[in-house]
Amino acid sequence: MSGRVAAQGASLALYVHWPFCLSKCPYCDFNSHVRDRIDQDRWRRALLRDLDATADETPDRTVTSIFFGGGTPSLMEPATVAALIGRAGDRWTLDPDVEITLEANPTSVEAGRLADYRAAGVNRVSLGVQALDDASLRFLGREHSAADALAAVDLAHRLFDRFSFDLIYGRPGQTAPAWRAELERALARAGDHLSLYQLTIEPGTAFYRRAGLGETLTSDDDDAAALYELTQDRLSAAGLPAYEISNHARPGSECRHNLTYWRYQDYAGVGPGAHGRLTLDGRKWTTQRLRSPEAWLDGIESGGGEEARTPLDAADRLAEMVMMGLRVADGIPVKQLEEETGKPLDAWIDPARRRPLIEGGFLDADPNHLRVTAEGRQRLDAVIGHLLA
Ligand SMILES: C[S@@+](CC[C@H](N)C(=O)[O-])C[C@H]1O[C@@H](n2cnc3c(N)ncnc32)[C@H](O)[C@@H]1O
Ligand code: SF4
């Protein structure tokens, strides 16, 4: 990997979006699309150009993480990943401990590329396993089998010091004993990080349409709450407590890139639909690239590609910090919140508004952190709604 390695400049996390998948999963509302043919060379040039435009605006930063997300970034040519990592190293300082993650799907074709990604500079992979039995994988519309998933996990284990995989629970009819057994199998194969998502039905997806026609596609609310609690208990006992609602790690093995979002630090987003949050000339902005792959590609090639750029006033920053920061177990340092928003916490959120949440056991009483309890995390939307009302 090329690049100047020195500890200088404010930190920056870099997100690169690859918007293509082999097929569209029925639950997924990410910016992901199926195309017969992808001109990899054209995409490589455009992503590099987008990265360059971002670097022009953010010189002198130290990049602490790069995350290739999607879509299915394991459909990117390894040469494209290598070129982007190399260019990031040319344009910014790379932290000596830079974390470079790639999301991979566990079909055999993609797993076969894991070694090439490692050679390209990737040092962490996150595999979209989703379930460990074939019937559930079919229900979720996945292209891989349970055997493919386990083989990919084992390969990731051999190739990378740091790897994670995702599972989706709360599937219809999924019982606590069945999920417990699946978790045991997952833990037997896990490294130091697991992402465990409760299935949600998102507008615009095939599941949303089917649910609208009356089909049951998730477990009911009581069962889902029991599965969530079971997940927390079992993962804590295994030494991988939740550091965020759906993310579990051995302490020290958290995904640094994702922590950047939740801790309200700067990140740049490159590729279709990618979001960024950047401090430029002392002001905080959100940036968003054009969402449609083709519109973004044309836009980049003609010197554009950005959909919107919005300054964030103090109230916006407060709302974003609360919505992001309460997801993590550590919560939000009050000092950071006050520096970021320019006003004391009490001026934003009256202590009288916080008190019932503290007395109800939803919010921690620590005066130095705004933090939810385990109970509060289960009802996070309601807690946030109350705090920001
Ligand atoms: C950006 S997706 C993609 C990663 C990769 N393309 C894959 O599917 O394997 C990240 C993760 O979000 C989770 N996810 C996506 N939609 C979800 C939904 N509606 N409910 C629960 N989890 C979801 C899946 O576990 C998925 O692996
Ligand atoms: S879940 Fe992953 S593979 Fe499936 S459509 Fe979404 S991004 Fe693509």
Is residue 249 scored above 80 in pLDDT?
Answer: yes
Q: How far apart are CA 95 and CA 123, in angstroms?
A: 13
Mean per-residue pLDDT for 325-342?
Answer: 97
pLDDT digits (tens, 9 = 90+) for 68-124: 999 999 999 999 999 999 999 999 999 999 999 999 999 877 778 999 999 999 999
What mean pLDDT, rounded, does the chain reach? Answer: 95
Tokens of 32: 């992901």
% of the chain surpassing 90 pLDDT: 94
Is residue 1 scored above 50 in pLDDT?
Answer: no
- Specify the pLDDT at position 3: 34
In the reported structure, the alpha carbon of residue 122 is separated from the centroid of ligand 2 by a whole-number distance in angstroms of 20
Q: Is the CB of 71 under 6 A from ligand 2?
A: yes
Q: How far apart are CA 146 and CA 134, in angstroms?
A: 6
Q: How far is CA 149 from CA 30, 110, 145, 161, 274, in A?
A: 21, 11, 6, 18, 28
Is residue 4 scored above 70 in pLDDT?
Answer: no
- Specify the pLDDT at position 221: 85
- Residue 9: which pLDDT band, with cuts at 50, 70 and 90? low
Q: Among 190, 172, 198, which residue's Cα sits nearest to residue 235?
A: 190
Nearest CA to ligand 2 atom 4: 25
Which atom number of ligand 2 is nearest to the Cα of residue 23?
Answer: 5
pLDDT digits (tens, 9 = 90+) for 43-61: 999 999 999 999 999 999 9
Which atom number of ligand 1 is nearest to the Cα of residue 105?
Answer: 9
Contact 223, 179 (CB under 8 A): no
Q: Is the CB of 265 under 6 A from ligand 1?
A: no
Q: Is the CB of 164 under 6 A from ligand 1?
A: no
Q: Which ligand is in closest contact with the Cα of 199?
A: 1
Q: How far apart are CA 245 and CA 326, in angstroms?
A: 9
Is residue 145 scored above 50 in pLDDT?
Answer: yes
Is residue 320 scored above 90 in pLDDT?
Answer: yes
- Specify the pLDDT at position 112: 85
Q: Is the CB of 75 under 6 A from ligand 2?
A: no
Q: How far apart are the first and last CA of the chain?
A: 48
- Specify the pLDDT at position 7: 32
Mean per-residue pLDDT for 170-188?
Answer: 96
Sketch the domain layout of the chain as residue ranges: 11-260, 330-389
Question: Which top CATH class is 330-389?
Answer: mainly alpha
Query: Which residues does 296 contact at the CB level (< 8 Å), separation at least 6?
Result: 46, 271, 272, 273, 289, 290, 305
Contact 285, 277 (CB under 8 A): yes
In the reported structure, the alpha carbon of residue 343 is separated from the centroid of ligand 2 by a whole-number distance in angstroms of 41
CATH topology of domain 11-260: TIM Barrel (3.20.20)
